[in-house]
Structure 1
Amino acid sequence: MNIITTTQWDELLWREAEPLYNEAFPDHGRKPIPIIRQMFERKLCFLHLGIAGDTADVMAITGELPSVRALLIDYIAVRQDSRGQGTGRHFIEELKNWTRGERGLSGMLIEAEAGDGPDHRSRRRFWEACGFHLTDYVHEYSWVPERYQAMYVNLSPEGELPDDGRLLFESITDFHKRSYQRK
């Protein structure tokens, strides 16, 4: 798998990523394209594509959280017909290497839906298999109906992330606020 990462809006790369993004996230669960463009303009995010052959199999939108020296995986999606084949795990390992090596960050975070349904449990098992740890704190946003828990992985023994979900969500919430702020 070839991993492409960009810090700038790239229409051609977005055309590869967008079908995965739309397939994985319902309208109410994804940021509108103008907000994502704005995030790129403000240097808040990265787009990562995992390409196998001539097709994008996985995409992620990430952003740095300077207060905890971590990379937030804001969105990640694996092509439906590539799931269950190790594609996601391989991509996450490459993303860990990039985060540690290229960005010099100490860890990575994601927001996992806090529900107890089979899909929620399956997603949490995926992240745990990738080395992430679930925090106890359940966060509720006023703008979305789902509740979330932070999951984190440390990439450096020198700069361990706190296992306090409240503290992690302070940084995550700040990232989302900056994403939606008007110019």
Structure 2
Amino acid sequence: MPKKTKILAIDYQHIQDCNSSRFQEAMAIYNEAFPSSERQSMVTVIERVKSGQSQLFVGIVKEQVVAMALLWDFKNSPFVLLDYLAVKNNCRGLEFGTQFFQFLAQMTIKNKQFLLLEAEHFQFGSNKEQRKKRIQFYIRNGAYLLSNVTYILPSLDGTASTEMVLMIAPKPPREILEKESIKDLIQRLYLEIYEKESNDPVLISLLDKIPEQIELTNTPLP
């Protein structure tokens, strides 16, 4: 009979000191996990953490940072953006990502809010299986796809933009979301997170494509 792997408990810390070793460990994971087209500059991350716009959380096991996450709280909104979530490369497959995501979700629920997630669209790119696995990970942990919403992540390094899906966790009370709430979210993503203008042509195109009612699904991907 195969031996069960012991799941190690994680300690969580909110990091505000950008000069600390914990911050440096978290940024090493961040730089390793995300391509430059999807990664904010280090200057931007530091400015946002220092100002309190972004909240940096880390997961620590045996005095080592094994996971990091950046959150953005949309003011006067029930949604908090899980801007980034990553596990250290040599610590993957040990349930750290699951534990960390559940910690963030529970923290958000206590504040009577919902996590908003951006994930690479599984029908695009050369790494479709990897993209599917990421989305399935979120679905297994209680997230729902906004299945009929088109969303594009603007490039953060001046190269190609990325086709994405939007997800919400946990499930909102309504099975179907209204157009105006998602329109507001996408506008705030583009204006606040990606610092685009309100007349950005991609943003205008996305807003025009939002259906009157947005369907939520947690059906496993084919």
Q: Against the structure 1 CA distance between its residues 49 and 156, is the aligned structure 2 distance closer, same or farther, given a 3 Å change threshold?
A: same
Alpha-carbon separation, structure 2, partners of 1:39 and 1:27: 18
Q: Does 1:83 align with 2:103?
A: no
Q: Which residue does the alignment assign to 2:207?
A: none
**Residue 131 of structure 1 pairs with residue 111 of structure 2:** no
Match of 2:113 in 1: 106
| 89-98 or 121-130, which deviates more | 89-98
**Structure 1 partner of 2:168:** 152
Q: What is the CA–CA distance in structure 1 between the aligned matches of 2:143 and 2:191, rounded to whole Å?
A: 21
Q: What is the one-letter code of the residue matched to 2:135?
A: R
Higher fraction of helix: 1
Distance 1:43 1:162, change over 3 A: farther
1:2-151 superposed matches below 5 A? 2-7=11-16, 9-101=18-110, 104-116=111-123, 117-135=128-146, 136-143=148-155, 144-151=160-167
Q: How many angstroms does 1:7 deviate by? A: 4.4
Equivalent residue pairs, number: 176
Q: Is the 8 A contact 2:72 2:83 kept in 1?
A: yes
Higher-Rg structure is: 2
- Secondary structure at 2:94's aligned position in 1? coil
* TM-superposed deviation, 1:156: 7.1
Local SS of the residue matching 2:30: helix
Q: Distance in 1 between matches of 2:19 and 2:144?
A: 33
Q: Where does structure 2 lack aligned partners over 5 or more consecutive residues?
A: 1-9, 197-222
Unpaired runs of at least 5, structure 1: none
Distance 2:109 2:175 in 1: 12
After TM superposition, the score normalised by the length of structure 1 is: 0.83
* CA-based RMSD: 2.6
